[in-house]
Amino acid sequence: MLRARGLRTLLCFATAAALSGCADPTPDAVDLIIASHHIAASDDDISDGRGFNEVNPGLGLVFDGRTSGVTYSAGFYENSFEDLSVYALRERDWNVGAGVRIGFGLGLATYPGARKRGTPSPENIVPIGGAHVVYGPLRLSLAPLIDDTTKGVLALRIRFPLGAAQ
């Protein structure tokens, strides 16, 4: 099982690098995934009654699309059900002034047991993404959900540039 997870992670990294259009697959930044908050959720929204995990440590590699203004990232995190999720994400944001940027992202993540929990999901792969606000290294995302367990999720990441990345 761990070997399959590792292979999926490598596949996500390779896909992100290829999609970014860079000849050099060296990441431009690292995302540290911190936490989430499930909006309008209660403990009985989940079959096991424990409630959602809202401490979601994880790590992602970010690849700058260079001329496109789009970034691609891939990584892993402990999801809301305390399982390991692997993701690939495409994001775009725009400067709105005073050091603030807004944007959106779309991607896919593995979510073990998603179908058993009522999320419509082929092979436990779910769509991820939504709107985000960026201030300095902080990225706050709001993702709507496609199931009935919660209205949406707020997620916090911190982005650290690598090398000469801006």
The answer to whether position 157 is within a domain reads yes
Q: How many domains does the chain have?
A: 1
> Which CATH number covers residue 131?
2.40.160.20
- What confidence score (pLDDT) does residue 153 get? 85
pLDDT for 96 equals: 96
- Residue 10 belongs to some domain of the structure: yes
- Interatomic CA distance for residues 128 and 149, integer angstroms: 15
pLDDT of residue 165: 46
**pLDDT tens across 124-158, in order?**
788 889 999 999 999 999 988 756 667 788 999 99
pLDDT tens readout for residues 80-127: 888 899 999 999 999 999 999 999 999 988 888 665 555 555 667 888
How far apart are the C-alpha atoms of 151 and 59, rounded to whole Å?
25
DSSP character at residue 3: H
In a domain, 44, yes or no: yes
Residue 166 within any structural domain of the chain: no
Tell me how far apart the terminal alpha carbons of the chain are, to the nearest angstrom: 37
Q: Is residue 29 part of a domain?
A: yes
Note the pLDDT tens digit of each residue in 29-82: 999 999 888 877 765 545 555 677 788 899 999 988 766 778 889 999 988 888
- Gap between the Cα atoms of 40 and 18, Å rounded: 38
Cβ pair 59, 32 in contact under 8 A? yes
Range of the domain at 31: 2-161
pLDDT in the model for residue 65: 73
Whole-number Å distance between alpha carbons of 82 and 16: 25
